[in-house]
Each structure stands twice: as C-alpha cells, then as structure tokens.
Amino acid sequence: MLWLRNTSALVAAYLFLTMAQAAQVGSVEGGHRLAREMCAECHLLGAEAGPSNNANAPTFKEVANTSGMTGAALRSSFQSWHNNMPNLIITVEQEDNLVAYILSLRKSD
C-alpha cells in the first residue's frame, strides 16, 4: 500500500506542476518588448498613471483591469477591427506574449 500512496503523490505533484506551467502562457518580457514596438505610439503601456498618447486608446493597465478581462477576450480583441486601430498581424507566440504582458498589469488587491 505504501507504493500506491507514493505513486499517487507523484502523480498529483506531476499534475500540479503541469497545470501551473499551462497557466502561464507567453512571456511577460516578450510582450512588453512587442508592445513597445507595436503599441506605444497610441497606448500607455505600463502600470504608471496617466493617459495614453491617443485619447481614444485605453491604457494597457485599464485594459488589464477591465471587469471580466481574460486571455481569450484579449485574443479576440487582437483579431477584431477597432476604430483608429491598425489591423494587427501577429503570430500566436506574439499574441501569447502580449496577453501575458497585459494581464501582468492587473491590480493585485
């Protein structure tokens, strides 16, 4: 019975680690780098207070803290046309990185 308990503990630990890795998709640093290249002309990118360069563009902090904002919602917004926003043509990896960066700006209350 001891081997069964040890095996169960190992399986549980493996599943926990696998789920933890799956929870963080994308690179926060890579997303910040991409945002500086593609988004900074219009959006305020960081956690600091202040307006975006374009009054019609929400800050990334505002986007991150929008009620119900999820990675899926961000991905959808990247693929949807918006007034005054260029059509984004980015890879899945770049999309993952932008999502990771934007969601990293959430308030931690």
Q: For 39-94, write each residue's pLDDT tens digit.
A: 999 999 998 999 999 999 999 999 999 999 999 999 998 888 777 777 888 999 99
**How far apart are alpha carbons 12 and 18 in whole angstroms?**
10
In 33-91 the beta strands, taken as DSSP E runs, fall at none
Give residue 8's pLDDT: 55
pLDDT at 93: 96
pLDDT, position 24: 64
Q: Which backbone phi and psi does 99 adopt, to 5 degrees?
A: -60, -45
The label of the residue with tokens 């360069």 reads 53
Q: Which residues contact 52 (CB under 8 A, 6 or more apart)?
A: 42, 43, 44, 58, 59
Percentages of the chain per state (helix, strand, coil), in multiples of 5:
55, 0, 45
Fold assignment, 26-103: Cytochrome Bc1 Complex; Chain D, domain 2 (1.10.760)
pLDDT at 19 over 60: no
pTM: 0.74
